[in-house]
Structures are given as C-alpha cells and as structure tokens.
Amino acid sequence: MALHTELDVYKTGYDLLTKVTGMVKNMERSFKRLIGEEIVDETKKLLLLVYRANVADDKVPHISMLIERVKLVEMLFRLSWDMKEITDRQYWAVIRLTESIAKQAVRWREWAARRQSHGGSRRHDRAPI
C-alpha cells in the first residue's frame, strides 16, 4: 500500500487546497466567513478522506464520501463564481482539479469494489479471525 501522500488523487487534492486557500483570502469578508471558510474546510476533508480510504480495508464508503464532498466543493465554487467572488479563470482552474479528483476517485472506487468482491486484501499474512 502506498502512502496516501504519494497518491495522485492526494496530490491533486493538495493542489486544490493550495489554490482554494489563496482564492478565499481575496473574497469579500462576509462571503469569506459564510462560504469561503467552508470551502477550505471541505477541501481539507477531501485530503482526510483520501487518507482514510487508503488505510481502510473497505475503501468504498470513504471513496464514495470523497466523491460527494468533491461535488459539494464544486457547488460552493459555482456559488462563488455566480456571486462574482472569483474570476472565470479561477473557477475553471478549480473545476479542472475537482473533475480530476472525481475521475480518479470513481476509478479507485471501481477498483476497490472489484477487489472486495474477489476476496479482499492482497495481504495473506493475517491470521483468520
């Protein structure tokens, strides 16, 4: 099992967090407090879900939650864009990253579901329970 920090989905999520943090700094104060801080928090949760999925025996629920949270981040950024808190360029840069995370997560979930249906872990050094 790779370290979660070595996974492409984690690296893309970290790039997203870096971008998001910079964008939120420039939002109008009340919008930043109401929506901007939630965007940052949800983006941090994406990274936590990547970690949880990576270490879990049953990865599917964590990856499903990751996909759901990505959609929430996209929706919050759509609101930010519609309310002119971010530029077109910023919006599309974020959407490219969130789409990449979602695609990687969907493939990861498919792989995890197949793996689970074929008997689970590749590790054979565990004693049966």
Q: Domains in the chain, start-ordered, CATH in brackets?
A: 7-116 (1.20.1440.60)
Q: Three-state SS for 13?
A: helix
Question: What pLDDT score was predicted for residue 45?
Answer: 97
Q: Which pair of structure tokens corresponds to residue 81?
A: 């864009």
Nearest to residue 25, comparing CAs of 12, 37, 13, 43?
A: 37
Looking up tokens 């002119």 gives 84
Q: What is the pLDDT of residues 44-98, one digit of tens each?
A: 999 999 999 999 999 999 999 999 999 999 999 999 999 999 999 999 999 999 9
129 pLDDT higher than 60: no
Give the pLDDT of residue 54.
Answer: 93
Cα–Cα distance measured from residue 64 to residue 42, given in angstroms and rounded to the nearest whole number = 15
pTM above 0.75, yes or no: yes
pLDDT computed for residue 2 by the predictor: 63
User: Rounded CA gap, 50 and 7, in Å?
Assistant: 9
